[in-house]
Structure 1
């Protein structure tokens, strides 16, 4: 029996339970409570408080120490949104999609609903691609949606529904996600016949990681059908395609036998992709930068080589994949957890200048929602922008004191690309291990070799990801390097504001890398 998360049901409940309250919010600062503002994260709430001061009443939907990538909204969250005069999200697919759907379904129609990361480019924010390269020995295969689909009526709260409708090949094909705490969510399973349960759901412009397990070697063909679904509306077809896998076989030989016209995907990062604008499915290979290519489904041959053979762990959570001790050929998920994101890195605030762009956008949004507070918001924003300028100088000064050869970051989460680019650091790697399985010898070796080759003096973990950092801390201990703390997506009791968080990061980098 397959294990399934309840995110869709939870999101649907939260999205509809309080729509009737949408006109009941406090929209002005004259009612005593102040302008009610709802944000998705603590970091955004802190920025709003700095600009709004006593004229705003701010609440964050993601609780203290929570992970915006995975937080599931509740009916209470829907009520908060319905009563808000302004809502702020980060978006660029930072937040769990169910959270975005809850906000868009419940935010009052005349209240500003602002996606800061996207809109802040007009205020000088700098965005960078999200580059993921773990140097795996086999292909890293995920699912992706490209195009905005606006011509089809898609919005940021839409769902792209991807179903497995046919599988031809020996044994079973099981595609599943391993969550951050080791839970298993099966998306496709050919073993019980394909039903409407064999489904993956993604927002537009999103990408996700998953495991692809094959119980027997041979040639496997998987047919996927995509539909677009908006809230309250029917599913509309987008396209259908069949992808071919060479499992435990020499893919080059298979390609040659087929006439040599097939493109073998055997390494790096690729996705089975729904293109909303073209209305088709294909394989998309990308390194997060300029090296991108589209391979038609009929021309793609996905290699699952013999070295991809793995043993199913003795853990009941993996019962949906097979019996303990059985071997499967598997393309790994690589980055564990329900890790849905886009092509742009959403963690803009790790560059203090981007946070300044957020503040200017917040100022203008609050002024539009509460014209009577225009002067207050302008004055507060100007004072806080000066503080952020000093913070930017402080970060540069601290990092400049680190010898250039030692400015290497190995972390538990790919959240520090902006920190690295803005302050002359290098992201050498990140590790998000699966607590339900021991890491392979090859994974440990690669991490150990990276630490040794770069002479890394410390590795960094986020407080909220401490329980997922066992591999990182063990390898660091074995190599005799420090384990230090960097804040990424959330505060803790030691850092309760954005400035405090970033000043800690600056001090910690200098302390641990020099």
Structure 2
């Protein structure tokens, strides 16, 4: 059996603990060195992340030269590609992405627009399900006392020529009501980004875009109480230019500060809490309110725009801030009704959690898909890829057993996982942990005061002994460190989306995570 090469060395036992990792050899398995040039390679492969690059090196061995676009320690959620990245993709014989909206949309566009037509361009998270990978939905529970209202694109739109690099343009074209309507996103550090604003009339600028199968949060502000009717139009803009094609159009009714029952018809649905998105379906060409109201969060359904009334109650009253950046909402100190965006910061995601590799069995499915893709592109190397894949799958099986055994030794009441961001759902689901909380769903976001209070309460109530940060997010872990210090719990390290200078291989990463969980949450000695 391969001996784990990770030995943890705690350098500081404070809330800002730094964990150093010494790397030793693993007998019997010679890994291709990361980032090494291989002039004799049969294939040049480009991946979006270092984790994917490592999987390709394991399967491809000496027959592949592999480069990752996102550098070590980089964040695929926010990495912006460069011209050099586009050039690397254009020279690649095979490209691998994770997708399911893990990567920034600009990065996906760079890959899709520069990959040569005759080369495989594989989205591993989506295609690996046919190899037995397990996917789980991404569930967000924000606990608001008013409706959480966002924007969403559903469907694949294949009949319309849509690809994952397409843009769906959502435009506000008309509003009728007693005041002005403003939809805006609160970025990191509280900077507002206005999407729709009726104050100067709607025009082409009152348009936002989303990738297919994506969702985003928004604030919805109304300057006066009354009934508003907002018309949204959706158009599809495919790669390569051309005139965007119309997809759908719908008008939504808002009851702002008035009894929604006086506005709704006998068969209408009043949306007053839970999660709803104003949605366009690329397959049906229809707009809807995509809501979980009637199933109490268990699932969502599409309701036609004309059959819903969106309740904006008087408890949603807010005061316009005095800062100049919020002047678009009106006079400072004035009262407005506002449905908050629930989670601060730009956070575009899909309906499926994209972090599949946190379950080692899913990484095995990735490896098998990588094997078959390389074989099709390089048939002469088929025997090599098969042999490498078999050896690596055995190593993955060993790693899966190791992770499972280590976590099984943690008492069940201590298997509570609190992390920097929401990236460990598969780890929890596969190995018997519970995601008890995280600072923010997405690392690009800034936590609000409510986020901090909720995190503190969770730690206190569950009596967790430790919380976990990611090495590549140490600079953004101030809140987690402070809360841990206030609650007198340890801060430990888990690898999520990226490697660092200490850890360069996937199986090492997962073994480290298992050891760290066992050490920090406590358990029987083994």
The 5 Å alignment of 1:87-106 reads: 87-106=95-114
Q: CA shift at 1:311, angstroms?
A: 4.7
The 5 Å alignment of 1:36-75 reads: 36-75=44-83
1:485 maps to 2:493: yes
1:198 maps to 2:195: no
Pick closer, same or farther for the CA change 1:388–1:137 going to 2, 3 Å. same
2:232 equivalent in structure 1: 224
1:340 equivalent in structure 2: 348
2:278 equivalent in structure 1: 272
CA deviation map 1:410-463 (0-9, x unaligned):
2232211111110001112222299998834x5444333333332222222323
| Matched residue SS, 1:354 | helix
Q: Distance in 2 between matches of 1:32 and 1:503?
A: 32
Q: Distance in 2 between matches of 1:435 and 1:357?
A: 29
Give the counterpart of 1:512 among 512, 516, 520: 520
Determine if contact 2:171/2:207 at 8 Å carries over to the other structure. Answer: yes
Pick closer, same or farther for the CA change 1:65–1:169 going to 2, 3 Å. farther
2:5 equivalent in structure 1: none
Pick closer, same or farther for the CA change 1:320–1:258 going to 2, 3 Å. closer
CA deviation map 1:69-103 (0-9, x unaligned):
22222222211111100000111121122222221
Deviates more, 1:416-425 or 1:283-292: 283-292
User: After TM superposition, what 4+ stretches of structure 1 lie above 6 angstroms from structure 2?
Assistant: 433-438
| Matched residue SS, 2:220 | strand
Pick closer, same or farther for the CA change 1:448–1:267 going to 2, 3 Å. farther
Pick closer, same or farther for the CA change 1:477–1:322 going to 2, 3 Å. farther
Deviates more, 1:238-247 or 1:111-120: 238-247
Give the CA RMSD over aligned residues. Answer: 2.7
Pick closer, same or farther for the CA change 1:176–1:64 going to 2, 3 Å. farther
The 5 Å alignment of 1:302-451 reads: 302-311=310-319, 318=326, 320-321=328-329, 328-432=336-440, 439-440=448-449, 442-451=450-459
Determine if contact 1:134/1:429 at 8 Å carries over to the other structure. Answer: no
Q: CA shift at 1:268, angstroms?
A: 1.7
1:19 equivalent in structure 2: none
1:240 maps to 2:249: yes
| Matched residue SS, 2:89 | helix
Pick closer, same or farther for the CA change 1:181–1:109 going to 2, 3 Å. farther
Q: TM-score, normalised by structure 1?
A: 0.86
Deviates more, 1:99-108 or 1:184-193: 184-193
| Matched residue SS, 2:79 | coil
Q: Distance in 1 between matches of 2:484 and 2:134?
A: 33
| Matched residue SS, 2:440 | coil
1:122 maps to 2:124: no
Q: Distance in 1 between matches of 2:177 and 2:250?
A: 16
Q: CA shift at 1:242, angstroms?
A: 1.4
1:82 equivalent in structure 2: 90
